[in-house]
Structure 1
Amino acid sequence: MDRGRLSRTSRRQSDLPMRVADTNRMSMAYVTPQRKPSFGKLNVPKPQSVTSEKRTSFFGARTSGMGLPCNSTLGGFGGAEKVKDTRPLHDKGFVQQCIRQLCDFLSEHGFPGSVSAKTLQSPSTKEFLKMFEFIYCQLDPTFLMPTSKVEEEVPRILKDLGYPFALSKSSMYSVGAPHTWPQVLGALIWLIDTVKIYLSISKQQLNDFSEDMNIEDGAEYNKLFLDYTAEGYAKFMEGQDTFEEEDEAYFAKLKKLYNVDEVLLSSMEEKHRILSAEVERLEKENQMDPLMSKRMEKLKLQTDLKKLQSYRGSLESFKANLECKASELNKEIEGTGHHVESVNQEKEKLQHILKNQKFTPSDVERINREKKELQQTISSLTKTMEEAQQHVWNEEITLAKVKENAELKLAEYHKLARKLKLIPVSAENAGGHDFEIKSSSDYGPGTIVQHKTQIQMPLRTLIGNVEEESSRLTNMKLSLEESVEQVNSNILDKSNDLRQMREQIRRLDERLEHDMQEHALEEQKWSAEVDSVENHQMLLEKKVHHGYDEALQQLKAAQQQYHLVLQETNEERRTVVNNLASVFTTAANHLFVVERSLEELHSKVQRICTKAIEEEEAEIQNLRQMAKPFISKAQSFTGEASK
């Protein structure tokens, strides 16, 4: 069975998205009818609007089977709603990145002109049109840039391609201006991304088409696919959005055509599932280092062994105490047994005497009364003895628990002292003092007082040293924070200066526009004067003949004066434009240099301050974490010792 054809069919996706999301798809998704890859004319759909939820169908408004409007997800932007550009186009870093991307694209695709990052900082309108024409020719090789109304043609082309942001006509007159070039550069970058997507899609479609021609070239398969496509498209035009029945029928015919073995497929899926589970298990096992896990297990077992050894020692001492008490109790029991034997002998003697002699009723009553008193005395003494034994047992249990808690706390103290490098005497932080405490079972109460006086004073000295170091580091941190605040204030001052320079540049732009308007008004005025002179000449030619030579001379003088004035006006305008351009270039370069130095200075100061503060905070935090349990343990040990 040829599984390649079936897998290729399952990979085919519809170019038109579904109008209703189908959440009940199986793992092998049946697809909607397809279109074969088309070549030649570019067919790039317009992207969806980010903020608008209106969707317009390319096929117009139509109704579904129930008579309700059936909206398509393929559509342009709803109405005339404007979308806000969220890209940081006024960020210097982002603009430089876009310029590098544009320069790389043009050099990679063989742009005929000379392109560099410096020339792309503020290109002219002519250079922009050359770049736009070259990039758009990657989409449509037959495209030619029109010679007239370019300011209307370029925004229209971008709008037809689906560019979501509007470009004004005025931006096409001064493309390289600082306030216009970022928006135009953003449009070029979007056009480059569109070209890249189109080229990748075209390449993929060519590969898919060649694979289809090599794999799916059977007449029966083509007939099945065409029938399936025609039936699905007919249902789609009727308003249907899901095609489960058609997909199932199509796949059933394909399975029958290629003799698909369902049992083999299920067995292979089960095998794939088992292998995937095995791979996941092996990956999880490999994530942990076996040597590290064994080392951790060894350390854990060593700590458990130490705990068991200490517990065994405490149990042996407890066993010795119990054996001593048991021997004492055995002696007590032996003495009680001898006493019981003597009491029994006395009882036998008394019984013998009772049998051999006669008693009066008063003697019997007296004896019975004494017997009852003796029995009560015996029961009370037995109860007292049981209570005493129970009290002794409870005291022994309490003593064993207290000893066990003392041993655990002593082990914790030794562990903490080793972490703080206080044990042994030759440790780094011991300072020649012996902070180790022997087992409390080897010493008496006087030894505890001796340990208390021996350990408390060095510990208090260490705590004082740690607090002094902490206060020193805190003062250092405060001084660093003050320096950081001073740097931030300097940065704020520089930002204010930068804002003022931008305001000056804006005023210069306004002044330039005002001067250009004045020059346009002067040109209109001179053209009006020329028209009036020409009209006057015609009237003179028609009505006046005797002063023709004088009028002709006046006309020539007026024309010469007009040309001189016009030439002077052009020279003045050219001079003003050149001066303003040089002023703008100098201001922009100075602004760029100042911003770059400020950014470098800010990043350097921020990096140094952040690193210093993080190191100091880490050291302070470590010292605090080290001193906190040490102080608490010392205080608790002092409290217990005092108790």
Structure 2
Amino acid sequence: MERGRMSRATGSRPSDLPMRVQDSNRMSMVYTTPQSKFGKLSIPKPQSGTSERRTSFFGARTSGAGMPRNSIMSGFGGTEKIKDARPLHDKSFVQQCIRQLHEFLTEQGYPGTLSSKTLQSPSTKEFVKMFEFIYRQLDPTFEMPNSKVEEEIPALLKALRYPFVLSKSSMYSVGAPHTWPQALAALVWLIDTVKINWSLMKQDLLFSDFCEDSDSIEEGAEYNKLFLDYTAETYSKFMQGDDTFEEEDEAFLTKLKKLYNVDEAMLVSMEEKHRMLSKEVEQLEKESQTDRLMTKRMEKMKLQADLKKLQSYRSSLETFEANLEKKASELDDELDTTVSHLETLKHERNELQHLLQNQKFTPADVERINREKRELQQTISSLSKSLEDAEQHKWNEEIAFAKAKEKAELKLAEYHKLARKLKLIPQSAENACGHDFEIRPSECGPGSMVQYKMQIQMRLRKLISDVEEENSRLTNANLSLEESCEQVNFDITEKSNDVKQLREQIRKLDERLDFDMQEIAREEQEWAAEIESVENHCKLLEKKVNYGYDEAVQQLKAAQQEYHLVLQETNEERRTVANNLASVFTTAADHLSITEKCLEDLHRQVQRVCSKAVEEDKAAVQKLRETLKSFKSKANSL
């Protein structure tokens, strides 16, 4: 029977029997320990993921409002079968039971193999191994018999007062879909029994007079006397038909406060402070999640920052536009100067043409000038043709020379590559022996190339002879090493036989050592059991002392989580701003490069047109000047 102390779980009822009517106004602090309720503010701790998944594997209570009180213990004393109210054919319930079984076996170091397939439909042998492992947590000396297992397991469950019947026929096909949920539920019930047994083993006797730690207030005789009086009084009223015990609760609570010197003012202030902090945390969480005004303000700040960046970009573009206009004005001035110069040349050409037209020549002079002109043109055409032939010949020779030079460079590159692979280049290489095998076409002329080649060939022949001598020497050394290796292998064979004999002796010694180690391990297990009981007692004391410290650590973790959340949001905003800045700068740089390219193309077109016009005008003026000079020379000769 569980010890008559106050349960740790907040909100459980003090009576040992079920209530007939649910009372929502029940005092939640009646079943809390004095240290956890009166010493510090009781703040519920967050439950772990496994504890949230726990389900009560005991069936619904058979006693209730519609049953007489004398039927409460009928399930334990009579032969009436209790109907299993657990949803054994619900897949979610079965999976939850499988997870709990897997967690328990893994935590306790189950020696067999655990897999999802094994726990979904195990064989009878695997079920027996799991049952034996769990039952050994209750009785370490238990050994499963080799025969009649289908009778032994139901008998053991019945001896442990398992409230439901597990038939013998179900043991023959445990993994079947209609029998495995019942066997699984029995294993889970057995696990709960093991955990209850562990919790009872950790507790002390009913009265602290027989314990070593009799100076503990909670475990003292005064506390036990108060609790037993309260239990007896409430149970007597419960048997008379009452379901609420508000007066007894208040009296018991008053006595506990008086016993433990509870400061109610401090409790009220701490509860008010906790309520205010909880309300502030909820408000902050709501503001961080649904504050649309703050979101719009942040968007406004981002847009204002973007507007400032665009304004600065616009001012830079205006400055760039002013520079471009200045360059364009300079180009216009240069173009005007070129046009004026062109006009001057045209005016000079007109004057020369007018002078040419006003000259007076006889028909014979004109015929002679035309004949000389045709002769000069023929001479010019013949000279131009010879010049083109000479340029074509020169071009062909240059192409042939370039091809020959390219072939020579390829061969030279292959020679250098092979020489580097053979470690002949550079002069300080491993196989160069201080000689320079590198060929430098820029240093040796056409005449000295043959001599340079002969020198390199002589050095290479000498190097080949040295390599052959070294190879023969290494071959002889290799033969001698092979002979010595054969001798060593023979010695190794003899030593291996000796090693086998030594290993046989070592094996015998190991068997003797294993036997001694088993004896030592058995003694260590006994000592470990005693040490574990002492450590459990120490852990219980530490848990009582460190309760307030755990609460402070949890508050610190909550504050750190909130800080990390704010820090993550700040980093995300910084990354967003950086990405926006990068996109704006990229767009500006692309626009600037496109504008510069367009202006450069325009400038090249203007230069091309101007240069073409100037060249055409210069060619015409030069031609006219040469004609005028020839006419003047002929006129002077006449």
- TM-score normalised by L of structure 1: 0.32
Larger radius of gyration: 2
- TM-score normalised by L of structure 2: 0.32
Report 1 or 2 for greater relative contact order, CA contacts < 8 Å, sequence distance ≥ 6. 2
